[in-house]
Amino acid sequence: MNKKRDLFFNLFFVLLPVFLQGRGSDEFAPGIQELYRLDWLPRLKQSVEIGSISSYDRSGGNDDGFSGKYSSIRKEAGGLVLVDLKGHGCIYRIWTPTPTDDWMAFFFDGEKKPRIRIRFRDLFTGNQPPFLHPIAGSGAGGFYSYYPLTFRKSCKIIMESDQVQFYQVNYALYPKNIGIKTVDAMPDPAEIAHLERAVALWNSAGKDISSHCAGPGETIRIIRTHETLAPGKTVQLFDIKQPGRITGLWLMPADALADKDRSILIRMTWDNQASPAVYCPVGDFFGASWGDPAMQSLMLGTRDNTDYSYFPMPFDWSARVELISEATDGEPVEIQAELAFAAGPRTSEEGMFCALWRRENPTAMGKPFTFLDFRGQGHVVGCMLQAQGLEPGATPFFEGDDQTWIDGRLAIHGTGSEDFFNGGWYDVPDRWEQRRSFPVSGCLDYKKHLGRSAGYRFMLADAYAFRKSILHTIEHAPERNELATDYCAVTFLYTKDHPARISGLDPPESRKTLDFNSFRFTPGWNVPVHAFSFRNVALEKKTETLGGEEVRFFSMKAGGDDIFGQPFVAFDFDIPQTGKYRVSMEAVTGSYQGIVQMFRDESPLGDPVDLFSKARQKSGMLDLGSLSLQKGSNTLYFKLMGKNPDAAGMGFNPVSFIFTKEE
């Protein structure tokens, strides 16, 4: 593979200057150009079938790859067949959270030998041409490749193994009159030039890429404005009265536009239509997470306190962009705004850009959450989801699968909520547990103690195209949608039809984020350990069955004093609001447990709690004291002050810490 890689780069650097002189033909061709020709994004798709092959549980259960039962189409002499497509098409996305060192063989157009053979794991490392970073990569627990694999007659993928777990493959099939060339293991010089353009663009997340949203030869003009947005008022940022397209939009200050009440809205109207095409809380539109700017993707996000959008937005003869404040009080916000405008009008083959904000609070029992239910023609190019349970301390609803019906056919069935966003293992450390932004996907938030999880995914080449209808949903429980939750989403699409069919917004009171007054941390799972004793302690995480319940807990065993006093462990707690909190605890009590007390700044914050009991059991709520905490990370220390005379040891086994706001 190294010789092939060296040859690839030698060819690339010799021939690159020749192929970078122009953008190439404007004639659409499925494949690598779709990853950087953002000016193509509004074009209505010519595909005849959009679909996905995945390891989802066909029985309706939650075995979406754990056992491997549903992780292949069939078994052949060479291994497990993952994909077997017939027709004229392209594989646009391959995802897994469970890569292995097994070989993966790609057979095209009925060939007897694989045209591409690569270890499954190397498909995502980003350094194996043509699967280059960041078009191929990993993060937030998931591994993904967006390098397009085109084929003229067929594509079969075989895993040379007896076991595969989770995977998803997204594809599109096209009519035969669409020019498709079957992919080569070693791209030709023209393909290398296209690949380099795609790599350069995808490495530009957070930077100005507005020039990629204009057509060849189009000139971009920057329009600037400054407005004061007072509570209860509307300001018109831009009012363009000529054909053209928006190729970039910037608003600041981002932290003043994103609020927990979702009280500031962005409204975009094309061609003076009666209903807006975009009508959405401005923070959510740019990827905020429960009122906090959280995303820095290729297409949308926030950088240096500036919100940005690079979705091309073509229109026929006018465009209006407004901000609306539905706040009832507060200080006015000084808005700085810029818009990149190109005079190339919307063509007959382009759709209108739309954004739909939806919230279900609570979600309907027995029914999935609906991102989009639309009749007409168009294609979905992105989704963002803020998902919250109605009780803090757990996020089992994120086991739910995404499901998409296109033109009345179940075309896409996922394997888990974070999987749809290219992540994996949402409740495992160093995976989905923190905000991570990648070019087209990422984790907006994961706060288990608040029952929250959020993600985004943008579709460029892998857009969900539909001709008659689309129903795009996601489950909110491992099975049967049996958990009531609070789900809020923004869906981005281009549509041939009037956007009035999708516009609409909940009233102000129904948009506010929900902050719990009481929330639960579970140190046996993923609460960060800040510090612990220098000597004479052992730390573990354990699971035991106590009183018929499976209990997971953090375990600290002390064998003597620390250098600086009593044995201790300290945790970092992420607090959503500044205020005074009462802290309580559930713990495993028993004959080997000590006496624990909560400290901060070397000062005790409550009375010592004796964890001794004759029988090993899970306790009820134990009061630890109260204190004032700031929004964000707060460190609390827990010291073992000694032990009960009847205790045989000095341990500390917390199951959960509960914080209840007092003021």
Quick one: which of 442, 438, 460, 458 has its CA closest to 205?
438
Number of H helices and E strands in the chain, helices first, is 5, 50
pLDDT band at 429 (very low <50, low <70, confident <90, very high): confident
CA separation for the pair 369, 453 (Å, rounded): 15
Q: What is the pLDDT of residue 527?
A: 87
Q: Are residues 137 and 211 in the same domain?
A: no
Residue 579 lies in a domain: yes
Please report which helix (H) or strand (E) contains residue 7, including its range: helix 2-19
Residue 509 lies in a domain: no
Residue-range definition of the domain harbouring residue 60: 2-202
Q: Are residues 186 and 41 in the same domain?
A: yes
Q: What pLDDT, in 10s, does the model give residues 197-208? A: 999 999 999 999
The 8 Å CB, 24+ separation contacts for 426-431 are 426/141, 426/395, 426/398, 426/453, 427/395, 427/398, 427/525, 427/526, 428/141, 428/526, 429/526, 431/97, 431/140, 431/141
Q: Which of 307, 328, 348 is the last residue of a domain?
A: 348
Q: What is the pLDDT of residue 603?
A: 95
Residue 492 lies in a domain: yes
The pLDDT of 89-117, averaged and rounded, is 97
pLDDT band at 277 (very low <50, low <70, confident <90, very high): very high
Residue 540 lies in a domain: yes
Tokens 């000062």 sit on residue: 603
Q: Which of 503, 537, 566 is the last residue of a domain?
A: 503
The pLDDT of 35-39, averaged and rounded, is 97
pLDDT band at 9 (very low <50, low <70, confident <90, very high): very low
Backbone phi and psi for residue 437, each to the nearest 5 degrees, phi listed first: -110, 125
Tokens 């017939």 sit on residue: 86
CA separation for the pair 389, 476 (Å, rounded): 9
Q: Are residues 26 and 169 in the same domain?
A: yes
Q: What is the pLDDT of residue 7?
A: 45
Tell me, what CATH number does 584's domain have?
2.60.120.260
Q: Does the pLDDT value for residue 504 go beyond 80?
A: no
Residue 550 carries which side chain, given as an amino acid letter? E
CA separation for the pair 119, 127 (Å, rounded): 13
Q: Are residues 320 and 373 in the same domain?
A: no
CA separation for the pair 514, 361 (Å, rounded): 10
Residue 508 lies in a domain: no
Dihedral sign from CA coordinates of 55, 58, 63, 69 = negative
Q: Does the pLDDT value for residue 17 go beyond 50?
A: no
Residue 428 lies in a domain: yes
Q: Are residues 235 and 299 in the same domain?
A: yes
Q: Are residues 269 and 377 in the same domain?
A: no
CA separation for the pair 261, 488 (Å, rounded): 13
Q: What pLDDT, in 10s, does the model give residues 560-590? A: 888 889 999 999 999 999 999 999 999 999 9
The pLDDT of 314-342, averaged and rounded, is 96
Q: Are residues 198 and 212 in the same domain?
A: no
Q: What is the pLDDT of residue 116?
A: 97
pLDDT band at 498 (very low <50, low <70, confident <90, very high): confident
Dihedral sign from CA coordinates of 569, 574, 579, 585 = negative
pLDDT band at 415 (very low <50, low <70, confident <90, very high): very high
The pLDDT of 122-151, averaged and rounded, is 97
Q: What is the pLDDT of residue 26?
A: 74
Q: What is the pLDDT of residue 24?
A: 45
CA separation for the pair 636, 362 (Å, rounded): 34
Residue 8 lies in a domain: yes
Please report which helix (H) or strand (E) contains residue 2, including its range: helix 2-19
Tell me, what CATH number does 442's domain have?
2.60.120.1390
Quick one: which of 143, 146, 144 has its CA closest to 130?
146
Q: Two tokens at 391?
A: 């009780």
Quick one: which of 197, 122, 182 has its CA closest to 148?
182
Q: Does the pLDDT value for residue 216 go beyond 60?
A: yes
CB 71 within 8 A of CB 89: no
Q: Are residues 48 and 139 in the same domain?
A: yes
pLDDT band at 22 (very low <50, low <70, confident <90, very high): very low
Residue ranges in 203-310 assigned as alpha helix (H): 254-257, 282-285
Q: Which of 324, 348, 372 is the last residue of a domain?
A: 348
Residue ranges in 176-252 assigned as alpha helix (H): 189-202
Q: Are residues 53 and 176 in the same domain?
A: yes
The pLDDT of 470-492, averaged and rounded, is 96
Q: Two tokens at 348?
A: 């007959």
Dihedral sign from CA coordinates of 319, 25, 299, 415 = positive
Dihedral sign from CA coordinates of 515, 521, 526, 531 = positive
Q: What is the pLDDT of residue 500?
A: 66
Q: Does the pLDDT value for residue 225 go beyond 70?
A: yes
In angstroms, the Cα distances linking 51 to 100, 280, 351, 454, 574 are 25, 29, 21, 24, 40
Q: Does the pLDDT value for residue 402 go beyond 70?
A: yes
Q: Are residues 243 and 188 in the same domain?
A: no
Cβ neighbors of 382 (< 8 A, separation 6 or more) are: 299, 300, 456, 457, 458, 459, 491, 492
pLDDT band at 15 (very low <50, low <70, confident <90, very high): very low
Cβ neighbors of 411 (< 8 A, separation 6 or more) are: 49, 50, 51, 52, 404, 405, 464
The pLDDT of 305-331, averaged and rounded, is 96
Residue 515 lies in a domain: no
The pLDDT of 282-298, averaged and rounded, is 97
Average pLDDT, the chain: 93
Strand partners, 238: 321
Q: What pLDDT, in 10s, does the model give residues 606-652? A: 999 999 999 999 999 999 999 999 999 999 999 999 999 999 999 99
Residue 444 carries which side chain, given as an amino acid letter? L
Q: What is the pLDDT of residue 450?
A: 94
Q: Are residues 380 and 476 in the same domain?
A: yes
pLDDT band at 186 (very low <50, low <70, confident <90, very high): confident
pLDDT band at 1 (very low <50, low <70, confident <90, very high): very low
Q: Does the pLDDT value for residue 47 go beyond 90?
A: yes
The pLDDT of 553-557, averaged and rounded, is 96
Q: Two tokens at 463?
A: 């857009």
Q: What is the pLDDT of residue 152?
A: 97
Question: What is residue 194's three-state secondary structure?
Answer: helix
CB 80 within 8 A of CB 61: no
Range of lowest pLDDT (19-28, 398-407, 427-436, 596-605): 19-28
Q: How many CB atoms lie within 10 A of CB 112?
A: 5
Cβ neighbors of 522 (< 8 A, separation 6 or more) are: 393, 394, 448, 449, 552, 655, 656
What global pTM score does this model have? 0.93
The pLDDT of 438-467, averaged and rounded, is 97
The DSSP string of 122-191 is: GGSSSEETTEETTTEEEETTEEEE---EEESSEEEEEESSS-----EEEEEEE-TTS------SS--HHH
In angstroms, the Cα distances linking 382 to 329, 354, 379, 385, 495 are 34, 11, 9, 10, 13
Q: Are residues 331 and 357 in the same domain?
A: no
Q: Does the pLDDT value for residue 37 go beyond 90?
A: yes
Q: What is the pLDDT of residue 359?
A: 96
Strand partners, 337: 225, 251
Q: What pLDDT, in 10s, does the model give residues 145-168? A: 999 999 999 999 999 999 999 999
Structural domain count, the chain: 4
604 or 560, which is more confident? 604
Question: What is residue 568's three-state secondary structure?
Answer: strand
